[in-house]
Amino acid sequence: MRIAVCPGSFDPVTNGHLDIFFRASKMVELLIVAVFHNPNKKPLFSMQERVEMLTIATQDIPNIKVDYFSGLLSDYVKKQNSNVIVRGLRALSDFEYEFQRALLIKKIDPMIETIFMMTSNEFSFVSSSGIKELAKFGGPIDGLVPTCLKERIIQRIHES
């Protein structure tokens, strides 16, 4: 079975993320969307909330499994019987950062391959941090986040 892992913080999940998930899911038998616990970030949503929101947002994509992890991505990928990582890119700055990470993972485990997918043009400017900032100041986030999660995201941002 061809399994790929798509890791990220997904705080919150955006339509740009969903674009990558949907397209990547067509290339594999199972796509594991894995929420990474990054100790260097203070997330808006808890790990459990992000897993729950991703599960809701991806429920129409049958070959997606939502999970979470902490520690080395290469270890997690191997534990999932995979050797493929999918990373979404929006801009050249994303590529530079992700390219360095991919090379580091390749150094740790030469059997793991990283696939870079460009997001669709309509989502090239969408980021989780941009969504949080826009919503914080009352800007519209319609079409930028899953409709089923929009109110939950706005509510949390206004609470924080």
Q: Which residues are annotated as a binding site for substrate?
A: 9, 41, 73, 87
Q: Please give the span between the terminal C-alpha atoms of the chain, in angstroms, as a whole number.
A: 42
According to DSSP, the residues that pair with 113 across neighbouring strands are: 84
Cα separation, 64 vs 58, in Å, equals 7
DSSP summary character for residue 42:
-
Catalytic residue among 37, 41, 79, 136: 41
With contact defined as beta carbons under 8 Å apart, do 12 and 145 qualify? Answer: yes
Q: Is 25 a catalytic residue?
A: no
Percentages helix, strand, coil for the chain, rounded to the nearest 5? 45, 20, 35
Q: Is 74 a catalytic residue?
A: no
**41 is known as an active-site residue:** yes
Please indicate whether residue 70 is annotated as part of the active site. no
**Catalytic hit among 23, 65, 78, 90:** 90
* Binding-site sequence positions: 9-10, 17, 41, 73, 87-90, 98, 123-129
Marked catalytic residue, from 50, 82, 128, 150:
128
Which residues are known catalytic residues? Answer: 17, 41, 90, 128
